[in-house]
Amino acid sequence: MPAGFSRYVEPFLGGGALLFHLARPGSVASDSNKELIRFYEVVRDSPGELLEAVAALPITKEHYYRIRRCDPQSLSAIERAARFVYLNKTCYNGLHRVNRKGQFNTPFGGRSDVRVVDPLNLPKASNVLKHVKMCCADYEETLSQVARGDFVYLDPPYVPLGGYSDFKRYTSSFFDDREHVRLAQQVRRIAELGALVLVSNSATERVKALYRGFHMAEVEATRQINCKPTGRGRVTELLIANYPLACGNVIS
């Protein structure tokens, strides 16, 4: 991260690891996944009720597929949030994946000893979100609000390392190469405005070409999701910024 900045902005919220680490009041966070944002709104407003709703959901294969088949639009906000986190925590390897209709389609993970919600951490997350401006939006809409001095972290669906990859289907639309081109254009635009920008992506030649001229560093990360056990473990990822990076293997 940069040494100093005025406001934190995260347009691909996902798990929000950096948002919750910073716990910085006045931050802006968004994601195009409506179910995710609805879930975080319930975490912010009704953490106690969410805990109770999750506790009422048995972790068995039969119940998993029954809950997965349930139409989320037929549920209350609390029940919908409980369904969302239940499926995410009990599915195969925690892989959030939907089909073209936006329906969650990851199979059951096969384990019943899963802690769906941490009762000690949930109130802390709720308190952080109370001081965050949060919305469901395309990343370009969020980036249109960025100003000089903001720190923007972008963690998009990654460019595939090769072959077929379904890990970019977090919503009913694919995040394809055209989206990565559009994202790179937006990163250059806000960098010219004077914002401090950090992007994470796969360490491929395609990504390096898209961000030519930026500072880059290769870092190692742990990945648990792969259909082949030999494909899991440490992988190389790329950090891209418009300020010098002092981590990992600095390549430019």
How confident is the model at residue 74, as a pLDDT? 95
Sequence-ordered list of residues with C-beta below 8 angstroms from that of 189, at least 6 positions apart, any chain: 143
Q: 138-144 long-range contacts, Cβ below 8 Å, gap at least 24?
A: 138/32, 139/11, 139/12, 139/30, 139/32, 139/183, 139/186, 140/182, 140/186, 141/30, 142/9, 142/11, 142/28, 142/30, 143/9, 143/11, 143/186, 143/189, 143/190
**Domain spans, the chain:** 8-32+137-250, 36-122
Total Cβ atoms within 10 A of residue 72: 17
Taking only the tens of pLDDT, the chain with its 252 residues reads 999 999 999 999 999 999 999 999 999 999 999 999 999 999 999 999 999 999 999 999 999 999 999 999 999 999 999 999 999 999 998 888 888 888 899 999 999 999 999 999 999 999 999 999 999 999 999 999 999 999 999 999 999 876 444 444 444 456 888 999 999 999 999 999 999 999 999 999 999 999 999 999 999 887 655 545 545 568 899 999 999 998 867 786
Assigned fold of 36-122? Adenine-specific Methyltransferase; domain 2 (1.10.1020)
How confident is the model at residue 166, as a pLDDT? 42
Kindly state the tokens that stand for 16.
Answer: 């929000």
Which CATH homologous superfamily contains domain 8-32+137-250?
Vaccinia Virus protein VP39 (3.40.50.150)
